[in-house]
Structure 1
Amino acid sequence: MSTPHLPIGRTVRYHRRRDGRTVAAIAGLCGITARYLEMIEAETKVPSTEVLARLAAELGVPIAALFAETLAKEPAPPVSTAPSIARALMSHALPASAAVQSPAVLRERVEAAWRIWQCSRNRFTDIAEVLPALIEDVEHAVRAHRGGSEPALRREVLRVAADLYGLLRSYCRRTGRLDLSLMVADRAIRAAQDADDPVRIAVGTWNLGHVLLSHTDASSVDEAKDVALRAADQLRRGAPASAETAAVEGALELVAVVSDARQRRWTDARRRLKERAAPLAEQAGDGNVAWTVFGPTNVALHAISIETLAGDALCRHAQQALTTSVAS
């Protein structure tokens, strides 16, 4: 009896194009060549389970989604990343005399940008239209309030800046600019520290952890776990317990879980997921605190990914199907 064809290449291509991302960007973040990814998408190569796990993580989907038989209509071809975002990050475009927007207005704009990033079907195109001006206005406000006489205004502007840099970390990482991603992750932490905001300091470190996880070398992956766990400890000591702090602490624990899984420390990853992340998820509930999307559902998806990568459960089924498919 023949095994049904598994459309891995087609689903990888679909999810990549859905986000408007290039073959080179995804391949680089997954530690494979662009040619190899092209062959996967053309279904002339069957990826290993480790490569499948990396692809799923970068595409933002459970590994099981890459085995789906039914997909929505394919989106338009991907667009190139706007260079204006990099220019805005590396230059002070607005003169000191330019009008300064209020923290409330900037907060609304940053939150709208996050909604685009997490909800838009054409998020790379849509976000590129708003980020350059937003970067300029937020950084101009930070400079304007740096030596001001209103500490409350300065603190709120710094909080807005930390949240914007968190979005930029994700954007730069997913467009293959790990250098800029590291830079804005650092800016997010510094802005949160200047605002003396323990929760945002932890969120900034969560962002840094994800940048480190994007590297393929073992030392960076281990550093991701180290910085995440130190930040979780600091958060517990520096902020009152709440659903918000539970969500951020849980997101940091998941960075450590992923680090263990990437290093094939399966027992450690499973134990941390069960004993640390899962209880925090129950406290926090499903939500999107600080745009981490942490909660029971997120923990469950990580559990599936760990078992898949470790060679258990779904992975054994998938490997058997893939082997049969290749043999036939």
Structure 2
Amino acid sequence: MVATSHLPIGRNVRSYRRRDGRTLTAIAGLCGITERYLEMIEAGSKVPSADVLARLAAELGVPLAALFTEAPVDEPATRVSTAPAIARALMGYAPPANAAVLGPAQLRERVETVWRIWQSSRTRFTEIADILPALIEDVEHAVRTHRGAGDAAVRREVLRVAADLYGLLRSYCRRTGRLDLSLMVADRAIRAAEDADDPVRIAVGTWNLGHVLLSHTDPGAVEEAKHIALQAVGQLRHAAPASPEAAAVQGALELVAVVSDARRRRWTDARRRLAERAAPLAKQVGEGNIAWTVFGPTNVALHAISVEMLAGDAAEGLRLADQIDTGKLPSRERQFTHRLELASCHALRRDDAAVLVHLLDLEDLAPEDLVHSPFARDMVLQLQRRIRPVFRRQVSGLVERLQLA
């Protein structure tokens, strides 16, 4: 029998239930369990199955991970770690008006270089923090210079470069705890793409905006992410000719809708959209990284695992994971997210040894991502509180290296 005294699940369920003034009878009935069984869960004498855990989290309106934390919280807090120089550049500290204006080809090369670093480097946060401030200033200076005069073709290409840079900044700002800046640059990406009259990049900008909205805990924002994503799908079909690029971006937008459905506990809708909308598009375009979305069959399969993890079905999530090879994914960030979800599945099954193995693997894969992920940090701290003595040294070392002590 699994020991339960070290698991905070019961007291967290009780805390969230009482917070909302709801009775044992009401919650038990909605979750399809007896009142006595819920009493035993709250007392810590019973450990619920993954399915029951998922139903409890859904009815209590909290993330599944919140039932495992020592102190009940709605979401792990993201530490603000945005490089000050990047924030200053985005807020308008630009070079003098007579500074040299770089051409679109040179700017394009620099933006694509920083994108490759962002998607492939183990130390991506540190590396791009040194590069982005000057790049932001140079790109925005070029946009301002070409705004009202000059060659229309050059102006359009500069705007496309700006849209691509803002897409990267959306991801960086979100990962470093500045959702306000992330929202701002996502909007700038859409505006730049609209000024360039580029339907595919407009859709990519909406994909970026959808990810910002998915980062919020507000259910309304999560629902809005699906709405704008599907609206962008319709606009893209109407405005852009059929092409691999348009199909890949459409597929990426469908995945935003999938995540929105899963985050709002609409598991059937999420699974159906994956199978009927995203998977056929992935088969059509194949593996790739069009518009830096990493959309393709592997990414669709990874979203299927995400849906099962959010639904609390750890066994199904791990079964699906056994069928996927992520080694060739061009995005280290996507690989990191996948392996973190596997660690979460093992945590649901209370297999702490497997959780530790995955966390150490994540540290090797992307140490800076491990530091910047609130969910990963929380998982490490929870593991430290409950781990068996035989693994304590390895966990304590991980805590120290992540500076969580």
> Counterpart amino acid of 1:321?
R
Matched ranges for 1:14-163 at <5 A: 50-52=63-65, 80-163=81-164
- The answer to whether the aligner puts 1:321 opposite 2:322 as a matched pair is no
Equivalents in 1 of 2:150, 2:222: separation in Å? 42
C-alpha distance 319-83 of structure 1, shift in aligned 2 (>3 A) = closer
C-alpha distance 153-52 of structure 1, shift in aligned 2 (>3 A) = same
Equivalents in 2 of 1:176, 1:108: separation in Å? 28
- Displacement after TM superposition at 1:314 (Å): 3.6
> Counterpart amino acid of 1:267?
T
Unaligned runs of 5+ in 2: 4-49, 55-62, 67-78, 319-344, 354-385, 389-405
Which residue matches 2:14?
A: none
Q: Secondary structure at the match of 2:242?
A: coil
CA contact (8 A) 1:81 1:175 kept: yes
- Displacement after TM superposition at 1:52 (Å): 4.8
1:176-196 Cα deviation digits (max 9, x unpaired): 100000000000000000000
Matched ranges for 1:191-270 at <5 A: 191-270=192-271
C-alpha distance 51-84 of structure 1, shift in aligned 2 (>3 A) = farther
> Counterpart amino acid of 2:101?
V
Equivalents in 1 of 2:352, 2:294: separation in Å? 37
1:129-148 Cα deviation digits (max 9, x unpaired): 10000000000000000111
C-alpha distance 132-215 of structure 1, shift in aligned 2 (>3 A) = same
Equivalents in 2 of 1:286, 1:174: separation in Å? 25
Which residue matches 1:180?
A: 181
Equivalents in 2 of 1:237, 1:167: separation in Å? 26
Equivalents in 1 of 2:237, 2:256: separation in Å? 17
Equivalents in 2 of 1:282, 1:315: separation in Å? 21
Which residue matches 1:290?
A: 291
- Displacement after TM superposition at 1:149 (Å): 2.8
Which residue matches 1:17?
A: none
Q: Secondary structure at the match of 1:176?
A: coil
C-alpha distance 80-270 of structure 1, shift in aligned 2 (>3 A) = closer
CA contact (8 A) 2:289 2:295 kept: yes
Q: Secondary structure at the match of 1:94?
A: coil
- Displacement after TM superposition at 1:311 (Å): 2.9
> Counterpart amino acid of 2:118?
W
Equivalents in 2 of 1:168, 1:205: separation in Å? 14
1:12-41 Cα deviation digits (max 9, x unpaired): xxxxxxxxxxxxxxxxxxxxxxxxxxxxxx
C-alpha distance 267-113 of structure 1, shift in aligned 2 (>3 A) = same
- Displacement after TM superposition at 1:323 (Å): 8.6
Q: Secondary structure at the match of 2:98?
A: coil
Which residue matches 1:301?
A: 302
1:38-74 Cα deviation digits (max 9, x unpaired): xxxxxxxxx9774459xxxxxxxxxxxxxxxxxxxxx
Q: Secondary structure at the match of 2:211?
A: helix
C-alpha distance 322-182 of structure 1, shift in aligned 2 (>3 A) = same
> Counterpart amino acid of 2:283?
E
C-alpha distance 141-324 of structure 1, shift in aligned 2 (>3 A) = closer
CA contact (8 A) 1:79 1:125 kept: no
Q: Which has the higher contact order (CA 8 A, sep 6+)?
A: 1
> RMSD in angstroms over aligned alpha carbons?
2.7
CA contact (8 A) 2:189 2:205 kept: yes
Query: Could you say which structure has the larger radius of gyration?
Result: 2
Matched length: 261
- Displacement after TM superposition at 1:160 (Å): 0.2
Q: Secondary structure at the match of 2:295?
A: coil
Equivalents in 2 of 1:324, 1:136: separation in Å? 47
1:285-321 Cα deviation digits (max 9, x unpaired): 1111110011000000000111122133346984773
> Counterpart amino acid of 1:322?
R
Which residue matches 2:170?
A: 169
CA contact (8 A) 1:81 1:124 kept: no
TM-score, with length taken from structure 1: 0.74
TM-score, with length taken from structure 2: 0.61
CA contact (8 A) 1:185 1:208 kept: yes
